[in-house]
Amino acid sequence: MDKKETKELQVQTHGEFGGLGITVGMKDGALTVIAPLEGTPADKAGIKAGDIILKIDNQATIGMTIDKAVSLMRGKPSTPILLTIVRKGETKPLKIKIIRDIIEIQSVYSKTIGDDILYLRITSFDQKVVDGMKKAIKKHPNKKGIIIDLRNNPGGLLNQAIGVVDMFVKEGAIVSQKGKIPEENLIYNATSEDTDTKTPLVVLVNGGSASASEIVSGALQDHKRAVIVGKRTFGKGSVQVVMPINQDEALRLTIARYYLPSGRTIQAVGVTPDVEVDYGEIKKAEEGISIKEKDLRKHLASELEKIDGISVTKDDDKKNKKIITEEQIYKDAQLKSAVDILRALMITNNL
């Protein structure tokens, strides 16, 4: 990597950079969107995980390297860019105009559902994730279950993924890497003494969950520490290292593949959820809905929601998009399934 590319990598893993807020990878030879980062220009413009980018402005992406594509998508804030994409289910390519902006990543969002479920949304694995999760959990000592949402999380730092798993798995392997050079083969084990092995966990994933997200979800699944809900993940399990050449340049090499505790690979395969659920909206029926007001303590839509210790009434709903209401749960079939499953686990945990 040259000076510019090295700087971009450093900025991404430290939580702030300029551009579209989009993570891309090569899948079957095509430049593919792994995921748009939540709240970024790409997300607001409607870019979706799995979109194939045919053109960046007027330049075709066939034969283009990822670094070149990223370089073209980066630019000065407030400048426009036109992406031509192919999307599953659409008969013609779509042209989407996006305005570049400075991207500030908040990697961990914490919310509550009722009084007893802590919802943790991890948007990317930057260097702040483990600390952010520990702080959020500490703020909610009365939680009886946790949902970790890794949907559209493109990955990030390996040590942060290991750190997240280490919070919930007491012993054994978390992930291993194997390559052509035996000296590069490594096993990363659980080492933390402050481990929560009892709180029920549900992890949400989809096709935009990649790399570090797959390590977390796959390791928790193999250790039978969490129920994985959603759709099969992206399948990005290659090990890359960054070797500094000098102060301004570095070399990025793919040296091995990641393997989960059971020995299965992530590369091109991904993690298959325990419970597969399509994303979509659930229409309420007059009778027979599994989530009712009595199941959502304090009636989510009509009483106080607690988010990071702040009480918010329904009147504040429009001002605070972080709130999880009953209506929002019904609009997200995967989240609804996660809530249902977690409540069942919480009941079993109390027996």
**Which residues are identified as catalytic?**
211, 222, 236
The pair of structure tokens assigned to 35 is 């995921």
Radius of gyration of the chain, Cα coordinates, nearest whole angstrom: 21
- Per-residue burial over 223-251, b = 16 or more CB atoms within 10 Å of its CB, e = otherwise: bebbbbbbbbbbbbbbbeeeeeeeeeebe
Beta strands (DSSP E) in 114-157 are 117-122, 145-149
Give the position of tokens 């702030």: 16
The pair of structure tokens assigned to 202 is 């549900």
Q: Do 73 and 20 contact (CB within 8 A), yes or no?
A: yes
Q: Is 336 helix (H, G, I), strand (E, B) or coil?
A: helix
Own/partner pairs for 67-73, CB < 8 Å, 24+ apart? 67/1, 67/5, 69/24, 69/31, 70/8, 70/19, 70/24, 71/4, 71/5, 73/19, 73/20, 73/22
The amino acid present at 202, given as its one-letter code, is: V
Q: In 3-state terms, the chain is what percent helix, strand and coil (to 5)? A: 25, 30, 45
